C-alpha cells in the first residue's frame, strides 16, 4: 500500500495529449531524444488515461492442430506451436503498428489490440472500421506468413474476432522488459468473451451494432452466436481508409520477406527451438535471456487468479467518480498477488492478463520435478493468494466488493520469448496446463479455487481431501492448506516475519505425505 502510486486520471484528448505534446516540445528544445510514438504503451505507474476505445481480440482457433501431436503434447509439437506463435505475433505487430493501433497483450494464440484514433464520438464508425481493418489484415498476413515461413506445418489457420467499443482506463505496470500496458473497462472484457468460441467470423457487440445501426442481438449468448454478415462487413469496409486490402497485405509480406532476406528478421522454424530444463525454483527464470534456441520446457504447475467483479467495479467508478482510487487499488492487489507468487513461493509471474495473474512454479532438482510437492506448493500458494486478498479486504474495504477466482493445473510447458526481436519480443508460456488452469478459474465464483485433473491426480491425499471429488473448494486459505498437508507453518508464523522470506515457505510441501511422491522426469 505504501509503495502504490498516487494515481492521476487524465482524459486522453483534453488533458493527456496536450501534456504529451508539451513534453515532446520541451524534449526537442533541450536536445533530448524524442518520446516514443506509442503514447499509451509506456505510461508511468502513477498515470491513468481515460480514453474512448474500440477493443479488438483475435483468436487463432486451430492452434491445437499444431501444438498437439496425435492429441498429446511433445517437445516436437511444442516447438511447432511456438514457431507458429512467433509468426503470428510478428504478423500482428507489423499490422498493428501500420494501422495506428496499439498492441495491448498476447495470451497464447490470442491478440488483444486497441484502436483509439480517429478521436471523437462522430468518428466511432471509423474506429470500428479501423479495428476490422486491423483484424482482417492481421489474419491475412498471418496466413501468408505461415505459408511463406512455416510451410511444413501444412495448416490453414482459422480465426475468430471479437470487437466492442467504450471508454477504458489505460494504465501500465511492470518494469524494464516486462512492461505491461492494460486497458481496464467493460468493453475490453466483453470483446474477449466475443472472441471465445469455435466458429470463425467477426463478432460485434451490441454497442458496436447500435452505433452502426445494425441489427442487435440483445444477449451475450446471441452476440457470440451471430457473426457479422457479409452485408455488415462490407458496410464497415466502405468506411475504411484502406481501399485495397490485398495490396496492403502483399506489401507487408514483401517487406517482411525482404527483412528476412537481408538478415534483419528471422522467423524461427520448429527446428530452431532448443529446450532445456530450468532448475527450480522458477523465480530465477530470466525472460530477457530466453529465445527460441534458449527455451525452457518442463513439467510445472500453472496458477491463474482473477479479480472477480473488477470490471463491473471500475465501470461504476467511471460513472460515479473514484477512478483514481479504483486504479490504485488494482496496483496494490496486482503487486500483492505478484509478491505472493514470487517472493513467498519462488514462482514466476508469466504476465498479467487484464486483472488476472498467470504464474508458474515447480519443486524438484536439476534432474527431475517432484509433481506431488509441486502440487502441494501450488495449493499452498493458491491458499496464500486468498489469505492475502482477504487481508487486503481488511486494510482496503473496497476490496470486499471484489472476489478472487483461482485455477491451477500441472503439465509439461514450454517457456520462451518469441515474435519480433527487441523490446517487442513476447514472453510466452503455452500448454494445455496453462489453458486448463484458466478454464478452472473461469468455472469458479469469486470465493472458489479449482484444481485441474492432472494436478488432482498427482496431489497428496491431503490436497485431494481439500478439493474433494468435484475438484473445487470454497474460501480455501493458506491455513486450510498448511494444516491439511501437515506443513507445520501457518499464517501467524508468516505474519511475524519482518520481511517476506521465500525460505520459510519453499520447503512447506516437504512434509506433505509419507507416500513416495509422483515424479515427472524432465527428459520425457
State pLDDT tens for residues 202-231.
999 999 999 999 999 989 999 999 999 999
What single DSSP character describes residue 246?
H
Residues 303 and 429: beta-carbon distance below 8 Å: no
Cα–Cα distance measured from residue 432 to residue 94, given in angstroms and rounded to the nearest whole number:
28
**Helix H or strand E segment including 404:** strand 403-418
Residues 353 and 302: beta-carbon distance below 8 Å: no
Residues 356 and 441: beta-carbon distance below 8 Å: yes
State pLDDT tens for residues 345-399.
999 999 998 889 999 999 999 889 999 999 999 999 999 999 999 999 999 999 9
- Amino acid 35: pLDDT: 60
What fold does the segment set 280-521 form as a domain?
Alpha-Beta Plaits (3.30.70)
Mean pLDDT of the chain: 87
Residues 307 and 355: beta-carbon distance below 8 Å: yes
Stretch 248-261: mean pLDDT = 92
Grid cell 492481421 is found at 138
Confidence of residue 34 (pLDDT cuts 50, 70, 90): low
State pLDDT tens for residues 429-443.
999 999 999 999 999
State pLDDT tens for residues 443-488.
999 999 999 999 999 999 999 999 999 999 999 999 999 999 875 5
- Amino acid 506: pLDDT: 38
The overall pTM is greater than 0.85: yes
Least confident of 145-149, 165-169, 174-178, 198-202: 174-178
Q: Which residues contact 15 (CB under 8 A, 6 or more apart)?
A: none
DSSP-assigned letters across all residues of 65-79: HHH-BTTB--HHHHH
The three three-digit cell numbers of residue 59, written as one number: 483468436
pLDDT at 519 exceeding the cut of 50? no
Confidence of residue 502 (pLDDT cuts 50, 70, 90): very low
- Amino acid 193: pLDDT: 95
Q: Does domain 8-29+44-270 have CATH number 3.30.70.1230?
A: yes
Are both 8-29+44-270 and 280-521 of the same fold?
A: yes
Q: How far is CA 463 from CA 361, 404, 445, in A?
A: 17, 20, 20
Q: Domain segments of the chain: what residues?
A: 8-29+44-270, 280-521
Cα–Cα distance measured from residue 11 to residue 53, given in angstroms and rounded to the nearest whole number:
12
The three three-digit cell numbers of residue 76, written as one number: 516436437
State pLDDT tens for residues 112-154.
999 988 888 888 999 999 999 999 999 999 999 999 999 999 8
Cα–Cα distance measured from residue 403 to residue 449, given in angstroms and rounded to the nearest whole number:
11
Segments of 29-152 assigned E as strands: 47-60, 102-107, 110-115
Amino acid at each position: 500500500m505504501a509503495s502504490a502510486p498516487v494515481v492521476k486520471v487524465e482524459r486522453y484528448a483534453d488533458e493527456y495529449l496536450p501534456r504529451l505534446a508539451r513534453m515532446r516540445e520541451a524534449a526537442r528544445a533541450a536536445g533530448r531524444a524524442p518520446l516514443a510514438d506509442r503514447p499509451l504503451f509506456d505510461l508511468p505507474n502513477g498515470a491513468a488515461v481515460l480514453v474512448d476505445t474500440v477493443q479488438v481480440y483475435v483468436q487463432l482457433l486451430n492452434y491445437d492442430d499444431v501444438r498437439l501431436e496425435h492429441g498429446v503434447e511433445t517437445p516436437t509439437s511444442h516447438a511447432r506451436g511456438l514457431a507458429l506463435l512467433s509468426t503470428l505475433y510478428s504478423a500482428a505487430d507489423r499490422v498493428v503498428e501500420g494501422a495506428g493501433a496499439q498492441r495491448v497483450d498476447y495470451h497464447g494464440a490470442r491478440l488483444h489490440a486497441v484502436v483509439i484514433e480517429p478521436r471523437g464520438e462522430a468518428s466511432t464508425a471509423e474506429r470500428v472500421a479501423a479495428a476490422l481493418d486491423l483484424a482482417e489484415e492481421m489474419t491475412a498476413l498471418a496466413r501468408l506468413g505461415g505459408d511463406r515461413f512455416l510451410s511444413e506445418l501444412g495448416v490453414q489457420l482459422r480465426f475468430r474476432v471479437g470487437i466492442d467499443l467504450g471508454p477504458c482506463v489505460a494504465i501500465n505496470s511492470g518494469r524494464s522488459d516486462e512492461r505491461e500496458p492494460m486497458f481496464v473497462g467493460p468493453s475490453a472484457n466483453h470483446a474477449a468473451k466475443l472472441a471465445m468460441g469455435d466458429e470463425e467470423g467477426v463478432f460485434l457487440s451490441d454497442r458496436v451494432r447500435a452505433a452502426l445501426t445494425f441489427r442487435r442481438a440483445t444477449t451475450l449468448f446471441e452476440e457470440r452466436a451471430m457473426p457479422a454478415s457479409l452485408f455488415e462487413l462490407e458496410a464497415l469496409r466502405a468506411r475504411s481508409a484502406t481501399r485495397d486490402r490485398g495490396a496492403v497485405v502483399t506489401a507487408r509480406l514483401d517487406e517482411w520477406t525482404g527483412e528476412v532476406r537481408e538478415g534483419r528478421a528471422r522467423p524461427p522454424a520448429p527446428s530452431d527451438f532448443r529446450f532445456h530444463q530450468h532448475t527450480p525454483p522458477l523465480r530465477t527464470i530470466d525472460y530477457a535471456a530466453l529465445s527460441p534456441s534458449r527455451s525452457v520446457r518442463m513439467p510445472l504447475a500453472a496458477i491463474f487468479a482473477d479479480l472477480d467483479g473488477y470490471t463491473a467495479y471500475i465501470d461504476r467508478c467511471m460513472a460515479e467518480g473514484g477512478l483514481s482510487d479504483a486504479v490504485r487499488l488494482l496496483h496494490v492487489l496486482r503487486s500483492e498477488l505478484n509478491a505472493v507468487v514470487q517472493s513467498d513461493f519462488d514462482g514466476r509471474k508469466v504476465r498479467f492478463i487484464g486483472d488476472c495473474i498467470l504464474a508458474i512454479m515447480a519443486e524438484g532438482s536439476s534432474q527431475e520435478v517432484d509433481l506431488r510437492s509441486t502440487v502441494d506448493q501450488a495449493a499452498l500458494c493458491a491458499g496464500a493468494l486468498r489469505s492475502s486478498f482477504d487481508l487486503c479486504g481488511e486494510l482496503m474495504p473496497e476490496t470486499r466488493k471484489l472476489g478472487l477466482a483461482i485455477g491451477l493445473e500441472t503439465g509439461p510447458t514450454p517457456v520462451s520469448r518469441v515474435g519480433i526481436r527487441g523490446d517487442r519480443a513476447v514472453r510466452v508460456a503455452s500448454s494445455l496446463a496453462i489453458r486448463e488452469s484458466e478454464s478452472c478459474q473461469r468455472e469458479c465464483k469469486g470465493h472458489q479455487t479449482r484444481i485441474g485433473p492432472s494436478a488432482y491426480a498427482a496431489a497428496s491425499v491431503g490436497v485431494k481431501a481439500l478439493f474433494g471429488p468435484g475438484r473445487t473448494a470454497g474460501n480455501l486459505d493458506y491455513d486450510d492448506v498448511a494444516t491439511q498437508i501437515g506443513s507445520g507453518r501457518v499464517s501467524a508464523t508468516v505474519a511475524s516475519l519482518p520481511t517476506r522470506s521465500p525460505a520459510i515457505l519453499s520447503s512447506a510441501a516437504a512434509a506433505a505425505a509419507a507416500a513416495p511422491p509422483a515424479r515427472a522426469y524432465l527428459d520425457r
